[in-house]
Structure formats: structure tokens, C-alpha cells
Amino acid sequence: MADKKLIGVDLGGTTIKFAILTKDGEIQQKWSIETNVLNEGQMIIPSIIDSINHHLKMYDMTADQFEGIGMGSPGTINFEEGSVVGAYNLNWATKPVFPVRDISEGTGIPVVVENDANVAALGEKWMGAGNNADDVIFVTLGTGVGGGIIANGKLIHGTAGAGGEIGHITVEPNGFMCTCGKRGCLETIASATGIVQVAREMAAEYAGPSELKAMLDDGQDISAKDVFDLAKKDDDLALLVADHVCDSLGFALANLSNALNPKYVIIGGGVSAAGDFLLEKVEKSMLKNEFATVKNSTEVRLASLGNGAGVIGAASLINNK
């Protein structure tokens, strides 16, 4: 029989993405379904099983043609039990769910599950901006700030599975209160919501001409994209906000790099759509704060896989098990 294939599943709060891949990471088929979070998310696992079985039948494929299913999920993973808990956006808050056991039994294919941010890190490492390097830091800037750390080719989980919580590095000890309960987390500044929070605070103190200031004073809703779009047009307040955000992000990433000396630091997520404008400012801050050896050996890059990082990284779990 030809080399067995892989299935990647990227479980999100609104959409579940699926892909069938070769063991070399080539996507051959992909599809998605809506995430049904009603009734404490009880239908999520059955819908994943049904969708996989339906598509294998549609593609005239059988379970024995697959090496395994890798899945990225929000929440805390218990690797011994193969369970997930604390995935609030799935309504899996306190009651553990067992995707490894249940999906494997429902499809006849072995299953591995991992945190979704870690899975995205694996995807960028394997087939994206990480060039399959053994040492990679991945940070994703979205509604929050997530990330994954890969050292010597392995994900860093830590004692309790909290390794790679880049968003909760403290960058301003007396800064904004974070949802985690402490102050000054990177997430309160460099996430999409954090950037808006920074803009509102800086606008209250700013007296000069600024379109961003006028929008905020007028009570308009703004987004992180608005801030960076205006900064690119040399809006003075927007530039101050962008500089502060990128300086804080670069400070955190420089200190991580000083501790781990990765080959690549990769920035993804919706905020990374600001592109080279964001990258250059973050790199400037990193270079200012990095140890000389790290400065000369670690490169910061933008993520390249977009929404595909999750399914690709999930499938890579099977290659690495």
C-alpha cells in the first residue's frame, strides 16, 4: 500500500477545518463545518466524527489508508487522558471531553490532540515560515495573544501544560488588568483588543491633530487595523500607539529569544496583516533588547500559512508521535 495519509482537524469556536494531507505536508482535500457549541458543546465531537466518515466515503477512502488524525483544540490538554477542559469558546468549561478516545472509536483511526496555538506553531515550523527548523517561537496576535515554543524539534509544554503562554508575559507591571487576573500582560497591549485599549488611553492624553483622535473623540468604534492603517499614513497618534505596541511585543520576544535562541521568531494572527510595517518596528525593538549572539542568529518573520497553519500543524502531530 502507498504511504498512509494524515488528517488534520483545526477546532475553532465558529468553524472546524479539516484537511487530508500526505505525510510530506501536501494538502489533497480540505473542507469545513460550523461548530455547534449548544448544549455544552455535546455535538462537537459527534459532528467531527460524522464529517470525517462522510468525506472518506465521498472520496472512496477507508480508515486503514490513514496513519492518524491530529487535532488542535482550544483549552487545556491532558495528554495522559487524551482529554480537553477549559475550552470556554466551545462551552467545554469545566467538564472534560475525550476527543482522543471518542474520535478514534468513531472513525477507526488513531487520534492525537494538542492545544490549538501549539498546533499553529507546528504548522508554521513544518511547512511555513519556520523552514522546518528545530528551534522556533510562534506568536499569534488575534483577539488575544497566543503562541507556541518549539525547542530541539519538540513543543515546550511545561509541568502543567502552560508552556508557551506568550500572551501572559508581563511587559508593564502596573499596566492594564488582564483577563488572567494579573496586570500588564503582553495580551493587554499587543492583541487586537489590547491595541484598541492602548489607543483609547493614549488618545485621552493626546492634544495634537490626529484622525485617530477625532474618531475616538467622536465615539466611533475602531479596530487594530484602523490604528495600523492610520499609522502607515503618518497619523501622529496612531504612530505613537503602533510604536508602543511594537516596542512591547519586541521586548517580550527579545527576552524569550535571549532565553531560547530560536532560529526563527514568527508572528501570525490577524494583527500581523499590518505586514512589514509591523515587522520592522518589532524587529527594531528586538534588536535593541537582544543579547549579541542572539541578535546575530535569530530572525523574526511574518507567518506564511494563514488559516492553513492549524490543519497542517495538527496533521504533523501524527508524524511526530
Q: What is the pLDDT of residue 3?
A: 87
Is-contact 266 301, C-beta < 8 A? yes
Helix, strand, or coil here: 176?
Answer: coil
Residue pointed to by grid coordinates 496612531: 238
pTM value is 0.92
Q: What is the pLDDT of residue 269?
A: 93
Domain 133-303: which CATH number of 3.30.420.40, 3.40.50.10380, 3.90.79.10, 3.40.50.300? 3.30.420.40
- Mean pLDDT of the 70-89 span: 89
In this model, does residue 67 exceed pLDDT 90? yes
Beta strand 111-115 with 83-85 is: unpaired
Helix, strand, or coil here: 80?
Answer: coil
The CATH homologous superfamily of the domain defined by 5-122+309-320: ATPase, nucleotide binding domain (3.30.420.40)
Half-sphere exposure of 181 (CA within 13 A, CB side): 0
Query: pLDDT band at residue 2, thresholds of 50, 70 and 90?
Result: low
Share of the chain above pLDDT 90, in %: 84
From residue 171, how far is each of 47, 148, 245, 264 by CA, in Å? 41, 18, 11, 21
Q: What is the pLDDT of residue 314?
A: 97
Parts of the chain belonging to CATH 3.30.420.40 = 5-122+309-320, 133-303
In this model, does residue 64 exceed pLDDT 70? yes
Residue pointed to by grid coordinates 487595523: 225
In this model, does residue 61 exceed pLDDT 80? yes
From 301, 321, 282, 286, select the one nearest 109 (Cα to Cα).
321
Q: What is the pLDDT of residue 194?
A: 97
Residue pointed to by grid coordinates 490549538: 116
